[in-house]
Amino acid sequence: MERVGLFVDGGAMFYAQRDNGWHIDYRNVFHYFCDNREKAGAWYFTATPPAANADALERYRKFKHALTQIGYNVKDKEVRVLYDKNTGQARLKGNLDIELVFRMLSSISSYDTAVLLGGDSDYVPLIEHLVNLGKKVIVVGRRQSTAIDLINAASQFIDLNDIRDRIAKGT
């Protein structure tokens, strides 16, 4: 039986949902990619809201709990607030790309197919490496915001909008 590992770049999917105008149901995603396959693991990588934002942090905790109930391993870290020295404006930084790459590499022997929900070109060397090792790599993202190099490196690309009827909330 094919073994599948599911890896979700939560930040990329947040923006994909916003830009698409519909919400992803991660239970549906889990079933879409893992049913009738041996599940090697499912990981969701995201930054948490800053501790000062209690309402957002509470919503995040509920979301994280729901993900773990579905079967995801949630890897998170608190978002960092960076201030521009010139303007004094705050911007949030919460990137977990390295953690996602590390998990994909450290669990490589547990899956035959890796499903990556994300579109960052920084993943290209990883995807090329996995494909060279004989792994099937499915990249799932919003076509308009997924790097063409990533699409070309993958074994298969699936546009979120092509599977909307299977993974959207309320379906």
- Domain ranges in the chain are 3-167
Cα(155)–Cα(127) distance, rounded to whole angstroms? 9
Q: Tell me what the pLDDT averaged over the chain comes to.
A: 93
State the number of CA atoms in the 13 A half-sphere of 101 facing the CB.
Answer: 14
Per-residue pLDDT tens over the stretch 55-90: 989 999 999 999 999 999 999 987 776 777 887 776
Rounded to 5, what percent of the chain is helix, strand, coil?
Answer: 45, 30, 25
Q: Which CATH number is associated with domain 3-167?
A: 3.40.50.1010
Per-residue pLDDT tens over the stretch 124-169: 999 999 999 999 999 999 999 999 999 999 999 999 999 999 999 9
pLDDT for residue 93: 63
